[in-house]
Amino acid sequence: MGIKKKLLISFLSIIVALLVAGAFFVVMNYIILSKYRTLNSNMVSEYQLIEDVSSLLLSFDKLIKAPNDTLEMDNFNSIYSKTKYSLSELKEKIVSYESKIIFNGLENNINGVFFDVEIGINSLSSGNYLEAIDRQGTAYRKNKFVKENVSSLLLKELEYSKNLQIEIDKVRLISQMIAILLLLSTVSGCVWYAIVFSNKLVLPLVNLTKLAKLIEGGDLEASVSKELLKGDDEVASLASSFHAMVVALRANIQKLQEYNIEIKNSRNHLKEEKQKLQQYLNVAGVIVLIFDLNNNVFLINKKGCEIFGIEASDIIGKNWVSEYVSKKNQRQTIKTLALLANSATPVDTLENIVVSKDKLEKNIVWRFSMLKNKDNMSQAILATGVDVTELTKAKITINQLKEVDALKNEVLNIATHELKTPLISIVGLSEVMKNQPKTIPSEYQDYISIIYKEGLKLTNLIKTMLTATRNEVSKMTVVKEKFNLIDLIFSLKTSLEMLAKRTDSHINFDLRAEGINIESDKSKISQVIYNFVDNAVKYGPKNQSVTIGLSLLGNELIRVEVKGEGRGISKLAQKSLFMKFSQLESSLSRSQDGMGLGLYICKQNVESLGGKVGVESEPNQGATFYFTLPLISKIKI
């Protein structure tokens, strides 16, 4: 084999090796870049998946509130199909084995959400709203696991991205080594060729060597002389091959620069997504803390900084329990966190007091969750906290008000008892004197009648106050018996008509049911109907019609109502109408006697019988007072 052929074979081998190395580098860069693009696409899809599942649950919530909303049902089906398609598409693009394991958990949890909302929708269609609400709660709990799975998947893919960068550095190092080896081979071949063909090849090889040094120094614009490319000898072939190598190297370097730009853009995108995640945590209305098993903080959101009165840098890396939890709550907090870390048992709530930087104490209710790695090992704890300081103060105030109200009722009860005894004597004596006018001078007889009437009025007021107070401080006595409600209403007809005669009004009966049997207290029902009619007569015009109505509400309730033709009651006044001492007219402009306890006692009576009271009215359109009672049967007596 001649020298020329050997040189030719040698140079061809070098060129092939260079091209293979360049191709290998290009392919490796292309594969890695493809993985980067897939990772970026996966991360966007994973964030979108969280949003789609949340939108699906939001649509499901709306359907629970309005099951017949066809537009919302169409929206629900659209989100459902979109989420399923996104899940299947993401499944095909998972790049690493560890990510696939995490994705399987994510897929199972999302399928669990699908299963619950499907059963919930079917339950809504069949009218089983309790099942739908139960499935709603289950779906929301599984959605928390979906978010945790996505967070784990993102962390794993970020780790995989870091490994890709390491692979890129290795490829670069290998490429440089290959280039150096090829360069050394080329130089060695040139030296050997120079020795053999010293006179003929020295100058061209020197030129090529200088060119190689320029390229090695980074001057990629250097090119082979046109003189060296002329001819068909070994030198020309070498120059031509060297020229091809330079062109290929330029192209590869340009591609590498483009890949580096894309990698830089990908990194910037990942950084933006991380910032978005921090923003999501910052807009949360609760404290969010992530800390290790030694209670050293990794992350805190904006709300947490506001509650603690600090900047994030003041707490990162520090033990938040020893720094900010009050000393009297530190032991219980540490004990709870230790129990969670050792057994991974979910802790429903923990309430403690934290002391902010400005020494203000705040009551916080915490919820803890354990964060685990792929090996199911506990790594950190996620804590969410709600500031309940104002709620705690409100509870204390409510308890104090209840104590004051109980004391007021006791004082009122004692006072009315003390007034009742002398009033009995006054009414009794005045009645005796009234019934024996012959022994009383005529000028005093009118005074005695006034004393008697006012005494009776005051006695009735005291009885009313005693009734209301006794109902509050002790359990009301209910005398239950079975009776026909319609017969009871008709038995009150005479006494109700006597009430109506005071204003020349008349009573109408609109009983749209027959044979209504209930088991309840006749006396309390009669008192409520009598009070409703009395109010309708007192506050209505003369010559009005007062209608007593009765109707069935389904198979379980009966409604009794009294409708008058008065001036009506505003919506604002209706809210306090059944409250204690509530009156429509002010104390200075009242046209009717009373203390505002009649409707309050009616409410007590009806509620003790398992029913509810209410009013329906518009200004200048009269008023309808009603109450409902549970219905036992509709069997005719």
Which of 473, 502, 523 is the last residue before a domain boundary? 473
Do both 349 and 441 map to the same domain?
no
Query: The domain that contains 424 carries what CATH number?
Result: 1.10.287
Q: What is the pLDDT of residue 229?
A: 65
Do both 342 and 399 map to the same domain?
no
Query: What end-to-end distance do the CA atoms of the chain give, in Å?
Result: 129
Q: What is the pLDDT of residue 198?
A: 60
**Considering the domain boundaries, does residue 96 fall inside one?**
yes
**Considering the domain boundaries, does residue 243 fall inside one?**
yes
Tens digit of each residue's pLDDT (9 = 90 or more) over 107-151: 888 888 888 888 988 888 888 888 888 888 888 888 888 888 888
The DSSP bridge pattern shows strands 297-300 and 347-355 to be unpaired
- What does the pLDDT average to over 288-307? 88
Label residue 190 exposed, middle or buried (CB < 10 Å: 0-12, 13-18, 19+). Answer: buried
Tens digit of each residue's pLDDT (9 = 90 or more) over 586-630: 443 445 555 667 888 899 889 989 999 999 998 888 999 999 999
**Considering the domain boundaries, does residue 566 fall inside one?**
yes
Q: What is the pLDDT of residue 1?
A: 44
Do both 106 and 24 map to the same domain?
yes
Percent of the chain having pLDDT more than 70? 72
Do both 235 and 337 map to the same domain?
no
Domain of 193, in residue numbers: 3-254
**Considering the domain boundaries, does residue 367 fall inside one?**
yes
Query: The domain that contains 352 carries what CATH number?
Result: 3.30.450.20
Beta bridge partners, 484, equal: 517
Taking 80 as the threshold, does the pLDDT of residue 404 lie above it? no
DSSP string for residues in 171-217:
HHHHHHHHHHHHHHHHHHHHHHHHHHTHHHHHHHHHHHHHHHHHHHT
Q: What is the pLDDT of residue 505?
A: 92
Question: Alpha-carbon distance 365 to 348, whole Å?
Answer: 10
Tokens of 546: 């007062």
Query: The domain that contains 80 carries what CATH number?
Result: 1.20.1440.210
Do both 39 and 168 map to the same domain?
yes
Q: What's the CA dihedral at 468, 472, 475, 481 to 10 degrees?
A: 30
- What does the pLDDT average to over 69-97? 85
Taking 60 as the threshold, does the pLDDT of residue 345 lie above it? no
- Residue 634: pLDDT band (50, 70, 90) is very low
**Considering the domain boundaries, does residue 524 fall inside one?**
yes
Do both 377 and 447 map to the same domain?
no
Top pLDDT among 624 and 193 is at 624
Range with the poorest average pLDDT among 204-213, 235-244, 402-411? 402-411
Question: 110-117 — which CB contacts under 8 Å span 24+ positions?
Answer: 110/49, 110/53, 110/83, 110/146, 112/139, 112/142, 113/53, 113/56, 113/57, 113/139, 113/142, 113/143, 113/146, 114/80, 114/83, 114/84, 116/142, 117/56, 117/57, 117/60, 117/80
Taking 50 as the threshold, does the pLDDT of residue 275 lie above it? yes
Counting Cα atoms < 13 Å in the Cβ hemisphere of 348 gives 0
Residues 6+ apart with CB under 8 A from 484: 515, 516, 517, 637
Q: What is the pLDDT of residue 347?
A: 58
**Considering the domain boundaries, does residue 593 fall inside one?**
yes
Helix (H) or strand (E) holding 286: none
Do both 131 and 36 map to the same domain?
yes
Q: What's the CA dihedral at 403, 409, 415, 420 to 10 degrees?
A: -160
Do both 454 and 591 map to the same domain?
no
**Considering the domain boundaries, does residue 7 fall inside one?**
yes
Q: Phi first, then psi: what are they for 140, rounded to 5°?
A: -65, -35
Range with the poorest average pLDDT among 380-394, 443-457, 521-535? 443-457
**Considering the domain boundaries, does residue 340 fall inside one?**
yes
Number of domains within the chain: 4
Tokens of 255: 């591609």
Tens digit of each residue's pLDDT (9 = 90 or more) over 483-541: 998 999 999 999 899 989 989 999 999 887 777 888 899 988 999 999 999 989 988 89
Which of 364, 387, 410 is the last residue before a domain boundary? 387
Percent of the chain having pLDDT more than 90? 12
The DSSP bridge pattern shows strands 545-553 and 506-511 to be parallel
Tokens of 607: 């509620």
Residues 6+ apart with CB under 8 A from 135: 116, 117, 119, 120, 123
Do both 466 and 558 map to the same domain?
no
Give the E-state strand segments of 192-305 in sequence order. Answer: 287-292, 297-300
- What does the pLDDT average to over 217-223? 71
Do both 248 and 300 map to the same domain?
no
Question: Alpha-carbon distance 422 to 617, whole Å?
Answer: 42
Do both 585 and 517 map to the same domain?
yes
The DSSP bridge pattern shows strands 361-372 and 378-387 to be antiparallel
Residues 6+ apart with CB under 8 A from 197: 3
Do both 230 and 306 map to the same domain?
no
Q: What is the CA radius of gyration of the chain?
A: 46
Tokens of 430: 């005045």
Query: The domain that contains 569 carries what CATH number?
Result: 3.30.565.10
Tens digit of each residue's pLDDT (9 = 90 or more) over 540-557: 899 999 999 999 888 889
Q: What is the pLDDT of residue 635?
A: 32
Which of 447, 473, 499 is the last residue before a domain boundary? 473
Tokens of 509: 């009966």
